[in-house]
Amino acid sequence: MGGEQTGHGVTGREWRVRGRPRGRPPRITRPAIADAALAVGFDNLTLATVADRLQVAHSALYRHVADREELVMVAIDRAVAAASWPEPAGEWRPDLEAQAAAVWRVLERHPGLVKEFLRLTRFPEEVMRRFGASVRSLIGYGFTAENAFLAVDTVFDLTIDVFSRGRQLDAPAGRGIVRDNTADAWAEAVGAEVAPIMRRALTDPAATWFDRKLELVLDGVAASLAPRSG
């Protein structure tokens, strides 16, 4: 009644409707789905767009991912696993700086990832592994487990927050973008003495102020959390 079934639970009728020859549909796996999701991009990510990319019926994906959130998690896992992560530098501070820079590059390489990450109700496995590896690295430098956790958590949170705020400021607003359209209002709100600094903060690349904020945080880690030498 519903048409003959292929090996992936897709009817022959569905297969023909999608404009492809009859027969067994292409084999799909979670890694293939993840690669297709990254190719589609997080801003356009749906089960339908990934199915189109893989040239399979929409329903075929449900054997591998339960819903869109799991699709997002699979894609983020793939992005994190494929990223270039720094080797230990032999000192905790350069290591944390390099880890933060690597996180920033992942977010920059995959537009829309940070927005999707902040919406998740669960954490992707590779994100948790990377976080754990960074914490263990600091423990290896003599940090207590709690201080290592606090340092890494603070640095990663700072990286994600500053990157996300930068993307928010770059969003379209009227005839321009948010950062340009709000510069005058911010300048008036903070007063004449601070206004030039506020304007510079709005016009400089987000990475410029991130570097300064990261230095401030790492100074705090050095003063309060890092092991004392000697």
pLDDT in tens, 139-157: 999 999 999 999 999 999 9
Decide: 159 and 167 in contact? Cβ < 8 Å.
no
- Three-state SS sequence of the chain: CCCCECCCCCEHHHHHHCCCCCCCCCCCCHHHHHHHHHHHCHHHCCHHHHHHHHCCCHHHHHHCCCCHHHHHHHHHHHHHHHCCCCCCCCCHHHHHHHHHHHHHHHHHHCCCHHHHHHHCCCCCHHHHHHHHHHHHHHHHCCCCHHHHHHHHHHHHHHHHHHHHHHHHHCCEECCEEHHHHCHHHHHHHHCCCCHHHHHHHHHCCHHHHHHHHHHHHHHHHHHHCCCCCC
Is-above-0.85 flag for pTM?
no
On the question of pLDDT at 6 being above 60, the answer is: no
- What class, spelled out in words, does domain 12-77 have in CATH? mainly alpha
Higher pLDDT, residue 72 or 187: 72
Where do the domains of the chain lie?
A: 12-77, 86-224
- Determine what percent of the chain is predicted with pLDDT higher than 70: 88
On the question of pLDDT at 227 being above 50, the answer is: yes
pLDDT tens figures, 108-143: 999 999 999 999 999 999 999 999 999 999 999 999
Categorize the per-residue pLDDT at 17 as very low, low, confident or very high, splitting at 50, 70 and 90: very low
pLDDT tens figures, 68-83: 999 999 999 999 999 9
On the question of pLDDT at 4 being above 60, the answer is: no
Q: What's the confidence (pLDDT) of residue 229?
A: 74
Categorize the per-residue pLDDT at 8 as very low, low, confident or very high, splitting at 50, 70 and 90: very low
pLDDT tens figures, 189-223: 999 999 898 888 888 888 999 999 999 999 999 99
pLDDT tens figures, 166-186: 888 888 777 777 877 788 888
On the question of pLDDT at 21 being above 60, the answer is: no
Q: What's the confidence (pLDDT) of residue 22?
A: 52
Query: Of the CATH numbers 3.90.660.20, 1.10.357.10, 2.40.10.220, 3.40.50.720, which one belongs to the domain with range 86-224?
Result: 1.10.357.10
On the question of pLDDT at 15 being above 70, the answer is: no
Q: What's the confidence (pLDDT) of residue 24?
A: 54
